[in-house]
Amino acid sequence: MRIQVGGLADGIYRYQLAEDSTLLELDERFKNQVIVDATIEKSGSQAFLAAEVSAKASFECDRCLTSFISPLRSSYRMYYVTEGGADSHIDPSELQVVPTGFSVIELSDDVRQTILLSVPLKLLCSDQCKGLCPHCGANWNSGECNCEEKADDPRWEQLIRLKKQV
C-alpha cells in the first residue's frame, strides 16, 4: 500500500486506497479489504499524511464465545521530513525521516499497526451480552437456564451445608 508523491506539486491531495488484509499481513481475524482514506499535504520534498483506516474483523466474544463481525475505524498522522527538517513540536511517533527527493510513501506498516491498536481490549458481541452459565454452559443470550438460580439461592446453600453435616 503506497502513494507516489515524487511528481506532485505542492498542495493537498486525497486518495482512497484498498488492500486485502492478508497482503497487509494481518492475521486471519481480519476479513476483506482494509480501506484507507488518505490526505497528503506535499510541501517541497516533505509531506504530511492524515489517514483514516477502516477494516472488518471477526472476533470471539469474551463472555459468550460466539464469533461476531466488528467494524474497526481508526486514524493516524505522519510527517515525512528530510534530515534536520523536523519541527520540534512534532511527536516523534508521527515522524519519519526520509531522504531528500523521496518519492513514495509506504503505508502498510503504519496501517497494520493502526488496525491492531484499534482492536478493543474487551471483545464483546454486545454491551448487553449476558455470557455463558458457568455451571451448564448455556448461552444466557438465548435464554435462561435453571442451575444458576439454585446455586445463588441462600436456601439452597443452607441445604447443601445441612447435607455436609450429616
Does 123 participate in binding Zn ion (rule CB under 5 A)? no
State which of positions 3-62 bind Zn ion (CB under 5 A). 61
Residue type, 148: E
Which listed residue (3, 51, 64, 98) binds Zn ion by CB under 5 A?
64
Which listed residue (17, 35, 86, 145) binds Zn ion by CB under 5 A?
145
Task: Kindly report the number of other CB atoms within 10 A of residue 46's CB atom.
Answer: 18
Q: Assess contact for 72 and 106: CB atoms under 8 A.
A: no
Range list of H helices, the chain:
108-117, 147-152, 154-165
Q: Name the grid cell of 133.
A: 452459565
Q: Please name the residues in contact with 116: beta carbons below 8 A apart, sequence gap of 6 or more.
A: 26
In the complex, least distance from residue 121 CB atom to Zn ion, rounded to whole angstroms: 15
Does 63 participate in binding Zn ion (rule CB under 5 A)? yes
Per-residue contact flags (x/-) with Zn ion for residues 68 to 107, judged by CB under 5 A? ----------------------------------------
Binding stretches for Zn ion (CB under 5 A)? 61, 63-64, 125, 129, 133, 135-136, 138, 145, 147
